[in-house]
């Protein structure tokens, strides 16, 4: 039981990170119907920026809480967000805007190309082997509710993510820019007729989406001890699955999808290993953990079979 | 605005026979002579003759020499016929100089570039691929060459009567004769010069004399053959487009002509016009494409024999590279069915490839015996490769249908993500079910095929080369037949508009499942070949990156176009897996110019190697091609029409099509705008 609750909380924090990345995917898809394969790699660049800044401030594992630490954290967080946002806008300008009117497959392939370029830039920047960021929350930063131990990191991750998501919600629902974004997502031409600068709004969407990815990069490093140039692809794939699961184009769907996937990924570890004699043959060979990716995709496929537009997606009938 | 007119009362060819002869004989002569000079084709023939006369004098083994000689003789015969065709097919409206410049850039330049990079075919072609777009761009801008752009499409299709066809054949005979004569004279002079300089054995003078006479005579007859090829593609006065029979009655002929003019209406007219001879672009016509295709097929068939003469040492390495590239071509063709024909975006194609590879991997090794306790002798296993090829493909097709079933209701991007999911699930399953698949270590000891006396080993790659050629030929044939069948048309209908297709009676479920199944069938073939060649199979050989590469091959080559996809597969293979890796080996050699550049960059970026930035270059190439040429390298005709058509070309003046055959104006000219 305690294991279950602990896995639940870990799943929640992992899910929060997926949700942040999935928001970027879903925002871009909602507005220009493009699967931005490069989004995960922008997240990866965000993690590299954070590591570079933290290393520049000479932060080590489990540091003392003082001015330098706070400054380093703040600068790393905002720098990661801002630089990733700028990167996103640049990519949109170069690789996606010329293809605005091309057939559907062209921007997709272009996105894949950009993803490959970013991966190689990461490879050239930080090398081939995984690098470890300094662990700000050391192993001892835990607190207990009864028998259940909760890591402080998890709480921080969840809280910061919720703050960011709330901020996004407010921006999309209550500001003029947010209204313009929703308008462009709904009908681009009509929005242009209403006086919305469509190009600017699309760039702005990329700005916000990739900014969130940069923030996710910083948060990811708080929790996980290692990063490498391929996590962009790995995490991006799962985050994109989360976005699709929740209904792509729908912000709440992305958050819900991220949460579900995070929970699933954490809770599959409960499935026993059928090779292990103590499980009496139940479960899966090598335990649930090894099958996590497969199970996540299986859940996605099941849900898509019964609800083809995702959990919260709109069932728009195809019109002639 | 572009008008295409059908002339039923044509004048003769626009320019004189003599200028046509000069134009084409020189245009063909220059590349042939450059090629001869660079690779010394007649040196081969001389060596064979010498080898027969005096076995001790022969420098190279006779067997491959004879085969190479056969190829060379065949090559020159085809070129002679081609000369005849070109002279017959040309209207002479495009100037001489433009044709010569074109031939220089497209035929002579590649030869020189390949020689420049030390006879490395792939890197030479890559350099050409960089130069040619620049040339296209310049040609569009420079006014001197742009003069011909206004005439870039033939303005009229001539309907020919029997006299004009006979005149064409006469021109062709003359063309072949003139070309053969010039070639013979030039070689005669060169040989005599060598003889006078004392570097030419006397026995070979007989060969020279025979060759001279042979070339002249063969030129005449082969020119005639070229003329026949040209005549077969004309519009005849009786309205019958294939041959000039006088049997049809007049009203039948008029009916057929009217149907033809209706058929040639709207934008297809321009494409049809290019196919019909005589025209202004004979080098791009369908007849010329036949000749190019024949030469290409002969070259590919004879390649293992020709390679030492053309490219020097390292034949084995090159053949190994080509046998590796071969299964990419099959995979690209298979994916072309799913994505290109049926429009179902499949991002997880590597799953079917893995299924095919594991199917042969499990059966063709000791794993099968371990699992089912049926022990088959390893030698028998090798023979069983051939039936298992079909069985593996069918297993993969079955899984294609199974994995395609959940996707039937999904549209567009959801389909992509589900197929991506399958592409991820299948290798994970293979990884974790290690009771059957041996997990991370994979299955080793997979048998390669066997046939009477032919050894498929990794030492000599020639049998693998012919095996993959045979497989590719079969797959191309299957694809062409599929594309032109009812099923193929159903796929294209689904791709364009599902609802309209369903309203026209296309069974969506069956057609989509067939698409997945057929695509998986071909990937099963590739998988069996892959694991047989590699000798082992493990889950880490299959990843999403590979799916991306296959998709890139299809999209870059041209969605739905079979030659495009083949070229795309070879291009992506060269860029991604070949060029940059080889640049590394060149850069490590201190004497090459790349060494300095390499050292300079390493100062700034320590982890830099050319192999490392492979994905960077590939990614940039992908983005660039999508921005500048989204329809791919060789787009299918339909696609080209979609993406580059100006709206005003679609207007058809319907009034003229209502003109009936009895109106007095009909005979003069039918105008379609």
SS (HEC) of B314-365: CHHHHHHHHHHHHHHHHHHHHHHHHHHHCCCCCCCCHHHHHHHHHHHHHHCC
Token pair for A125: 């920047």
Token pair for A221: 């490093």
Contacts of B619 in chain A (CB under 8 A): 112-118, 120
Residue A25 touches partner B, C-beta closer than 8 Å: no
Neighbours of B645 (CB within 10 A): 11
Amino acid B657: pLDDT: 44
How would residue A237 be classed by pLDDT, with cut points 50, 70 and 90?
confident
Give pLDDT tens digits for B419-468. Answer: 988 998 998 888 888 777 777 777 777 777 777 777 777 777 888 899 99
How would residue B259 be classed by pLDDT, with cut points 50, 70 and 90?
low
Give strand ranges (E) for chain A: 142-145, 148-151
Amino acid B263: pLDDT: 58
Amino acid B385: pLDDT: 85
Residue A290 touches partner B, C-beta closer than 8 Å: yes
Question: In chain A, what percentage of residues exceed pLDDT 70?
Answer: 95
Neighbours of B459 (CB within 10 A): 6
Residue B555 touches partner A, C-beta closer than 8 Å: yes
Residue A112 touches partner B, C-beta closer than 8 Å: yes
Q: Decide if A66 is inside a domain.
A: yes
Q: Do A124 and B555 touch (CB under 8 A)?
A: no
Task: Report the half-sphere exposure of B517 (CA within 13 A, side-chain side).
Answer: 14
DSSP A164-218: HHHHHHHHHHHSHHHHHHHHHHH-HHHHHHTT--HHHHHHHHHHHHHHHHHHHHH
* Per-residue CA distances from A109 to A88, A238, B550, B633 (Å): 17, 19, 11, 15
Q: Do A116 and B619 touch (CB under 8 A)?
A: yes
* Per-residue CA distances from B367 to A173, A255, B382, B429 (Å): 60, 46, 14, 17
B385 in Cβ contact with B449 (< 8 Å): yes
Q: Compare CB distances from B412 to A104, A115, A123 and report the shortest one's residue.
A: A104
Q: Do A285 and B432 touch (CB under 8 A)?
A: yes
Q: What is the total count of domains within chain A? A: 1
Q: Compare CB distances from A103 to B500, B623, B630 and report the shortest one's residue.
A: B630
Give pLDDT tens digits for A145-183. Answer: 777 777 888 888 889 999 999 999 999 999 999 999 999
Residue A130 touches partner B, C-beta closer than 8 Å: no
Q: Decide if A317 is inside a domain.
A: no
Query: Which one, of B338, B260, B325, lies nearest residue B518 by Cα?
Result: B338
Query: How does strand A142-145 pair with strand B443-444?
Result: unpaired
d(CA A139, CA A226): 15
Contacts of B504 in chain A (CB under 8 A): none
* Per-residue CA distances from A44 to A20, A206, B419 (Å): 13, 16, 24
What does pTM read for this prediction?
0.84
d(CA B62, CA B47): 9
Q: Compare CB distances from B425 to A121, A124, A294 and report the shortest one's residue.
A: A294
- How many degrees, rounded to 5, is the angle at CA B508 between CA B502 and CA B510? 145
Contacts of A248 in chain B (CB under 8 A): 413-414
> In 3-state terms, chain B is what percent helix, strand and coil (to 5)?
75, 5, 25
d(CA B147, CA B142): 9
- What range does the domain containing A72 cover? 2-306
Alpha carbon of B482: minimum distance to chain A alpha carbons (Å):
23
Q: Do A285 and B616 touch (CB under 8 A)?
A: no
Q: Tell me the average pLDDT across A94-101.
A: 90
d(CA A81, CA A213): 7
B456 in Cβ contact with B463 (< 8 Å): yes
How would residue B322 be classed by pLDDT, with cut points 50, 70 and 90?
confident
B267 in Cβ contact with B649 (< 8 Å): yes
Residue B16 touches partner A, C-beta closer than 8 Å: no
A140-154, A288-302, B206-220, B242-256: least confidently modelled range: B242-256
Q: Compare CB distances from A35 to B413, B500, B620 and report the shortest one's residue.
A: B413
How would residue B606 be classed by pLDDT, with cut points 50, 70 and 90?
low
Q: Decide if A318 is inside a domain.
A: no
d(CA B569, CA B399): 24
Distance linking the first and last C-alpha atoms of chain B: 8
- Tell me the β-bridge partners of B550: none
Query: Which one, of A254, A289, A291, A251, lies nearest residue A270 by Cα?
Result: A289
Instruction: For B413, name the nearest residue in chain A, comparing CA atoms only.
Output: A35
* Residue A41 reports pLDDT greater than 50: yes
Q: Do A237 and B435 touch (CB under 8 A)?
A: no
d(CA B673, CA B267): 9
3-state secondary structure of A273: strand
Neighbours of B195 (CB within 10 A): 15
- How many degrees, rounded to 5, is the angle at CA B344 between CA B339 and CA B350? 65
d(CA A262, CA A101): 36
Q: Which of residues 609-638 of B touch A (CB under 8 A)?
A: 612-616, 618-623, 626-627, 630
Q: Decide if A312 is inside a domain.
A: no
Burial A167-206 (b: 16+ CB within 10 A, else e): ebeeebeeeebbebbbbbbeebeebeeeebebeebbbbbb
Query: How does strand B235-236 pair with strand B156-160?
Result: parallel
Contacts of B630 in chain A (CB under 8 A): 99, 102-103, 106
How would residue A271 be classed by pLDDT, with cut points 50, 70 and 90?
confident
Amino acid A217: pLDDT: 92
What is the sign of the dihedral through the CA atoms of B95, B96, B97 and B101? Answer: positive
Average pLDDT score over chain A: 86
Angle between helices B350-363 and B508-534 (to 10 degrees): 50
Q: Decide if A174 is inside a domain.
A: yes
Q: Do A35 and B428 touch (CB under 8 A)?
A: no
A185-194, B405-414, B548-557: least confidently modelled range: B405-414
Q: Tell me the average pLDDT across A46-56.
A: 89
Residue B418 touches partner A, C-beta closer than 8 Å: yes
d(CA A205, CA A89): 9
Alpha carbon of A315: minimum distance to chain B alpha carbons (Å):
11
ipTM of the complex: 0.86
Q: Decide if A54 is inside a domain.
A: yes
Residue B432 touches partner A, C-beta closer than 8 Å: yes
Give strand ranges (E) for B467-595: 536-537
Alpha carbon of A254: minimum distance to chain B alpha carbons (Å):
15
- Tell me the β-bridge partners of B159: B235
Q: Tell me the average pLDDT across A213-241.
A: 88
- Tell me the β-bridge partners of A273: A284
Alpha carbon of A1: minimum distance to chain B alpha carbons (Å):
28
Query: Which one, of B253, B251, B249, B250, lies nearest residue B241 by Cα?
Result: B253
Query: Which pairs from B241-249 meet CB under 8 Å and 24+ separation?
Result: B241/B276, B244/B160, B244/B161, B244/B162, B244/B165, B246/B162
Q: Do A240 and B417 touch (CB under 8 A)?
A: yes
Give residues with Cβ within 8 angstroms of B440, minimum separation 6: B431, B434, B538, B539, B540
Query: Which one, of A217, A257, A252, lies nearest residue A30 by Cα?
Result: A252
* Residue A195 reports pLDDT greater than 80: yes
Q: Is B434 exposed, middle or buried (0-12, 13-18, 19+ CB in 10 A)?
A: middle
Q: Compare CB distances from A95 to B422, B429, B623 and report the shortest one's residue.
A: B623
Q: Which of residues 225-284 of A touch B (CB under 8 A)?
A: 233, 237, 240-241, 244, 248, 284
Query: Which one, of B626, B567, B368, lies nearest residue A107 by Cα?
Result: B626
d(CA A116, CA A122): 10
Q: Do A308 and B409 touch (CB under 8 A)?
A: yes
Q: Do A290 and B422 touch (CB under 8 A)?
A: no
Alpha carbon of A145: minimum distance to chain B alpha carbons (Å):
37
Q: What is the Cα A1 distance to its own chain's centre?
A: 29
Q: Compare CB distances from B615 to A102, A108, A119 and report the shortest one's residue.
A: A119
- Tell me the β-bridge partners of B372: none
Tally of residues, chain B: 673
Token pair for B238: 């009786």
d(CA B197, CA B212): 20
Residue B540 touches partner A, C-beta closer than 8 Å: no
CATH number, domain with residue A178: 1.10.3470
B427 in Cβ contact with B356 (< 8 Å): no
Residue A117 touches partner B, C-beta closer than 8 Å: yes
* Residue B580 reports pLDDT greater than 70: no
Amino acid B50: pLDDT: 64
Give pLDDT tens digits for B125-177. Answer: 888 888 888 888 787 777 655 444 444 555 556 667 778 788 888 888 888 88
Of B229 and B258, more confident: B229
Q: Compare CB distances from B615 to A120, A293, A294 and report the shortest one's residue.
A: A120
Q: Do A285 and B621 touch (CB under 8 A)?
A: no
Give pLDDT tens digits for B533-575. Answer: 888 888 888 888 889 889 999 988 888 889 999 999 988 888 8
Contacts of A109 in chain B (CB under 8 A): 551-552, 555-556, 622, 626
Q: Compare CB distances from B417 to A110, A233, A241 and report the shortest one's residue.
A: A241
B34-38, B331-335, B469-473: least confidently modelled range: B34-38
How would residue B269 be classed by pLDDT, with cut points 50, 70 and 90?
low
Amino acid B411: pLDDT: 76
Of B47 and B442, more confident: B442
d(CA B553, CA B334): 11
- Tell me the β-bridge partners of B451: B454
Give residues with Cβ within 8 angstroms of A224, minimum separation 6: none
Contacts of A35 in chain B (CB under 8 A): 413, 416-417
Q: Tell me the average pLDDT across A74-88.
A: 93
Prior bond of B278 cis (ω within 30°): yes
Alpha carbon of B449: minimum distance to chain A alpha carbons (Å):
34
Q: Decide if A205 is inside a domain.
A: yes
Contacts of A105 in chain B (CB under 8 A): 339, 345, 555, 559
- What letter would DSSP give residue B106? I
Amino acid B501: pLDDT: 92
Q: Do B630 and A102 touch (CB under 8 A)?
A: yes
Instruction: For A244, name the nearest residue in chain B, comparing CA atoms only.
Output: B414
Question: How many cross-chain Cβ pairs, A to B, lie less than 8 Å apart?
Answer: 146
Q: Tell me the average pLDDT across A283-288.
A: 73
Amino acid B286: pLDDT: 76
Q: Compare CB distances from B626 to A109, A286, A318 and report the shortest one's residue.
A: A109
d(CA A232, CA A1): 34
Residue B435 touches partner A, C-beta closer than 8 Å: yes
Q: Decide if A320 is inside a domain.
A: no
Amino acid B566: pLDDT: 93
Interface test with chain B among A30, A91, A125, A301, by most B beta carbons within 10 Å: A301
3-state secondary structure of B260: helix
B239: left (phi over 0), alpha (psi -120 to 50) or beta: left
Alpha carbon of A59: minimum distance to chain B alpha carbons (Å):
24
* Per-residue CA distances from B211 to B46, B191, B207, B214, B220 (Å): 11, 11, 6, 5, 14
d(CA B168, CA B156): 17
Q: Do B619 and A114 touch (CB under 8 A)?
A: yes
Alpha carbon of A263: minimum distance to chain B alpha carbons (Å):
18
The 3-state secondary structure of B190-256, one letter per residue: HHHHHHHCCCCCCHHHHHHHHHHHHHHHHHHHHHHHHHHHHHCCCEECCCCCCCCCCCCCHHHHHHH
Query: What value does the CA radius of gyration of chain B take, rounded to a whole number of Å?
Result: 28
């Amino acid at each position: 039981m305690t294991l279950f609750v602990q896995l639940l909380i870990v799943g929640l924090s992992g899910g929060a990170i997926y949700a942040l990345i999935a928001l970027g995917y879903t925002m871009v898809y909602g507005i220009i119907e493009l699967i931005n394969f490069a989004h995960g790699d922008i997240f990866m660049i965000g993690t590299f920026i954070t590591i570079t800044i933290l290393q520049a401030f000479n932060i080590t594992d489990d540091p003392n809480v003082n001015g330098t630490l706070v400054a380093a954290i703040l600068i790393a967080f905002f720098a990661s967000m801002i630089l990733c946002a700028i990167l996103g806008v640049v990519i949109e300008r170069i690789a996606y805007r010329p293809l605005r009117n091309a057939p559907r497959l062209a921007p997709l392939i272009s996105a894949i190309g950009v993803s490959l370029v970013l991966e190689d830039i990461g490879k050239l920047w930080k090398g081939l082997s995984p690098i470890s960021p300094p662990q700000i929350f050391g192993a001892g930063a835990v607190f207990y509710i009864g028998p259940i131990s909760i890591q402080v990191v998890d709480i921080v991750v969840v809280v910061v993510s919720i703050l960011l998501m709330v901020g996004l919600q407010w921006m999309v629902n209550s500001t003029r820019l947010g209204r313009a974004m929703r308008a462009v997502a709904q009908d681009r031409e009509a929005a242009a007729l209403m006086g919305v600068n469509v190009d600017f709004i699309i760039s702005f969407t990329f700005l916000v989406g990739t900014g969130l990815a940069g923030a996710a990069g910083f948060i990811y490093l708080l929790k996980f001890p290692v990063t490498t140039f391929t996590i962009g692809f790995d995490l991006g794939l799962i985050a994109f699955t989360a976005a699709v699961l929740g209904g792509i184009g729908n912000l709440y769907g992305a958050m819900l999808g991220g949460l579900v996937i995070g929970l699933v990924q954490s809770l599959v570890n409960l499935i026993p290993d059928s090779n292990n004699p103590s499980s009496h043959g139940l479960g899966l060979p090598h335990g649930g953990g090894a099958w996590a990716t497969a199970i996540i995709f299986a859940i996605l496929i099941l849900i898509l079979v019964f609800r083809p537009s995702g959990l919260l997606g709109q069932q728009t009938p195809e019109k002639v | 605005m572009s008008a295409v007119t059908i002339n039923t009362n044509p004048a003769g060819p626009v320019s004189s026979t003599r200028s046509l002869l000069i134009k084409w004989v020189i245009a063909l002569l220059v590349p042939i002579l450059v090629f001869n000079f660079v690779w010394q084709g007649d040196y081969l023939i001389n060596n064979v003759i010498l080898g027969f006369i005096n076995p001790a004098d022969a420098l190279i083994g006779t067997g491959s020499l004879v085969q190479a000689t056969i190829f060379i003789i065949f090559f020159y015969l085809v070129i002679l016929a081609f000369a005849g065709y070109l002279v017959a097919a040309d209207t002479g409206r495009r100037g001489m100089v433009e044709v010569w410049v074109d031939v220089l850039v497209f035929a002579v330049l590649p030869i020189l570039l390949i020689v420049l990079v030390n006879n490395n075919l792939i890197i030479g072609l890559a350099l050409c691929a960089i130069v040619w777009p620049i040339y296209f761009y310049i040609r569009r801008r420079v006014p001197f060459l742009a003069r011909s752009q206004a005439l870039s499409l033939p303005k009229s299709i001539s309907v020919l009567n029997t006299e004009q066809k006979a005149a064409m054949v006469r021109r062709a005979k003359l063309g072949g004769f003139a070309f053969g004569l010039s070639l013979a004279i030039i070689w005669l002079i060169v040989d005599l010069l060598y003889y006078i300089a004392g570097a030419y054995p006397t026995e070979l003078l007989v060969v020279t004399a025979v060759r001279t006479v042979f070339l002249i005579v063969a030129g005449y007859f082969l020119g005639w053959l070229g003329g026949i090829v040209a005549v077969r593609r004309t519009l005849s006065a009786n309205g019958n487009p294939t041959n000039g029979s006088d049997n049809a009655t007049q009203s039948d002929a008029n009916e057929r002509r009217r149907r033809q003019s209706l058929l040639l209406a709207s934008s297809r007219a321009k494409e049809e016009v290019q196919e019909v001879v005589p025209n202004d672009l004979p080098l791009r016509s369908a007849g010329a494409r036949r000749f190019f295709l024949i030469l290409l097929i002969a070259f590919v068939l004879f390649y293992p024999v020709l390679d030492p003469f053309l490219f020097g040492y390292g034949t084995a390495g090159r053949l190994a590279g080509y046998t590796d590239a071969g299964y990419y071509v099959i995979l690209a063709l298979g994916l072309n069915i799913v994505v290109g024909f049926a429009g179902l975006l499949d991002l997880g194609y590597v799953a079917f490839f893995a299924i095919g590879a594991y199917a042969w991997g499990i059966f063709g090794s000791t794993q099968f015996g371990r699992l089912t306790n049926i022990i088959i002798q390893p030698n028998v296993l090798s023979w069983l490769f051939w039936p298992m090829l079909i069985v593996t493909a069918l297993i993969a097709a079955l899984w294609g249908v199974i994995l395609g079933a959940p996707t039937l209701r999904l549209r567009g991007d959801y389909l992509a993500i589900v197929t991506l999911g399958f592409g991820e699930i299948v290798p994970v399953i293979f990884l974790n079910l290690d009771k059957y698949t041996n997990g991370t270590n994979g299955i080793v000891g997979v048998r390669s095929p066997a046939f009477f006396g032919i050894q498929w080993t990794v030492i000599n790659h020639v049998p693998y080369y012919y095996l993959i050629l045979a497989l590719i030929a079969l797959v191309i044939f299957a694809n062409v037949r599929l594309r032109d069948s009812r099923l193929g048309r159903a796929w294209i209908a689904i791709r364009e508009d599902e609802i309209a297709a369903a309203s026209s009676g296309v069974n969506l479920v069956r057609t989509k499942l067939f698409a997945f199944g057929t695509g998986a069938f071909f990937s099963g073939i590739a998988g069996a070949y892959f694991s047989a060649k590699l000798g082992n199979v493990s889950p880490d050989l299959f990843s999403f990156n590979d799916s991306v590469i296959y998709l890139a091959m299809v999209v870059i080559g041209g969605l739905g176009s079979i030659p495009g996809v083949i070229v795309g597969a070879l291009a992506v293979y060269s860029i991604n897996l070949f060029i940059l890796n080889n640049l590394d080996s060149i850069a490590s050699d201190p004497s090459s110019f790349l060494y300095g550049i390499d050292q300079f960059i390493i100062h700034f970026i320590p982890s830099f190697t050319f192999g490392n930035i492979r994905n960077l270059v590939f990614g940039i190439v992908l983005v660039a091609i999508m921005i500048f040429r989204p329809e791919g390298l060789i787009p299918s005709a339909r696609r080209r029409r979609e993406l580059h058509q100006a709206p005003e070309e679609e207007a058809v003046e319907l009034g003229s099509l209502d003109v009936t055959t009895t109106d007095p104006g009909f005979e003069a000219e039918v105008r379609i705008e």
